[in-house]
Amino acid sequence: MVDQLSAVFAALADPTRRAILARLRDGEATVAELAEPFAMSQPAVSKHLKVLEQAGLITRTRRATARLSHLRAEPLRAARDWLGDYRAYWRESHDRLDDLLTELQEKDT
């Protein structure tokens, strides 16, 4: 069993799934609506939706004969928080690089 954070990053690794999530920010959508901008079949989009659902990034409900997908932001917050732990590291790395560049420029003048 894959932990949820790994499933989220695996789901986000695909540009089609990221585009689907971006579309779902605007509200719920059917498979047909989600498939519209892509050069792929509805069953192919359904496979992407299944990955997103398994990662906890969407939920799916039925309304009459339509199956609607809904964005769930909570798993994205967990990914953001995990990445945030590295923010200080990146900031320090950039500061060291800036210091080195300044030092090199001073030597050239």
Q: What structural domains does the chain harbor? A: 4-108 (1.10.10.10)
* Euclidean distance between CA atoms 8 and 87, whole angstroms: 19
User: How much is the pLDDT for 89?
Assistant: 85
Distances (CA, A) of 69 to 5, 59, 94: 20, 6, 40
* Euclidean distance between CA atoms 51 and 24, whole angstroms: 15
Strands 58-63 and 29-30 turn out to be unpaired
Chunked into runs of 10 residues, the chain (109 residues) has average pLDDT values of 86 97 96 93 95 97 91 92 86 82 83
Report pTM: 0.78
